[in-house]
Amino acid sequence: MSARELLRTLTVFGDALPGFATATAAAEPTDQFLAWLAEAVEGGVARPQLMTLATVDADGFPDARTLTVREVDRTGWWFATDATSPKAEQITALPRAALVFSWPEQGRQIRVRGTVGRADRRACAGDFLMRPPGARAASHVGRQSRPLRDTAELDRAFVEARERVTAQPDRVAEAYVLYVVRPLAVEFWQGRTDRKHTRLRYQLAEGAWEREFLWP
Ligand SMILES: Cc1cc2nc3c(=O)[nH]c(=O)nc-3n(C[C@H](O)[C@H](O)[C@H](O)COP(=O)(O)O)c2cc1C
């Protein structure tokens, strides 16, 4: 079977798509996100905490990667990463980003555009210390996205990191940082079997959220 034929055998959405009661949509997009997140968990969406983060490098080239959202509150969408990673360098140079959550089982997508802020040291430490030992060890290894010349080096770094977590369980990895994407625009996309998809976009205008529908 060719790739083209194989791709044609696949479905895009789940069988039973929920509706989108836009008349009762929340005034704040983070509240609307949390309502959809609860429905995603209840509806069995696989790993709804995963999102794509897009940032831009110094030449204006976009970069995108999967991340795990750690918290969502009125400030925005929080994630943790290595402060020396390429994404962190891009954010430091240009603190703007986009996020996408894709929940195809429910025909849903959420897109966020915004500015990026960084949590203070205390908040980063608090979040870090709540992580399981294996995750803490991985953060101690650091050097995310640097070229790896020898896998034995990685093995050694993990052994050292695990020993460090055992010996000093309260030690926080220096490069562990929490960032937040503070939304300027958030779009909720609800697929429909008749393809008259519903799109509701929130935009921040002079400190207040305005909403409008978009053509599908
Ligand atoms: C399912 C999944 C979840 C991930 N979650 C995170 C995360 O929460 N934080 C993180 O730094 N990288 C995470 N990654 C790895 C990133 O996708 C990426 O490889 C890494 O952060 C390096 O990105 P950068 O080189 O653009 O900085 C995850 C990858 C996958 C596949």
- Which residue has a Cα nearest atom 13 of ligand 1? 67
- Which residue has a Cα nearest atom 5 of ligand 1? 67
Kindly give the distance from the C-alpha atom of residue 51 to the centroid of ligand 1, in angstroms, as a whole number: 10
pLDDT tens, residue by residue, 141-196: 999 999 999 999 999 999 999 999 999 999 999 999 999 999 999 999 999 999 99
How many Cα atoms sit within 13 Å of 141 on the Cβ side? 18
Q: What is the largest CA-CA distance in the chain?
A: 59
State the closest ligand 1 atom to the C-alpha of 63, by its place in the atom list counted from 1: 26
Answer yes or no: is the C-beta of 92 below 6 A from any ligand 1 atom: no
Residue 203's pLDDT is: 98
Exposed / middle / buried, residue 3 (Cβ in 10 Å: 0-12, 13-18, 19+): exposed
Q: What is the pTM of this model?
A: 0.96
The CATH code that applies to domain 23-213 is: 2.30.110.10
Residue 12's pLDDT is: 93
State the closest ligand 1 atom to the C-alpha of 68, by its place in the atom list counted from 1: 8
Share the mean pLDDT of the chain: 97
Q: Three-state DSSP class for 134?
A: helix
Q: Three-state DSSP class for 79?
A: strand
Domain boundaries, the chain: 23-213
CB 153 within 8 A of CB 212: no
**What is the ipTM metric for this complex?**
0.99
Kindly give the distance from the C-alpha atom of residue 65 to the centroid of ligand 1, in angstroms, as a whole number: 6
Beta bridge partners of 88: none
Mean pLDDT of 97-103: 98
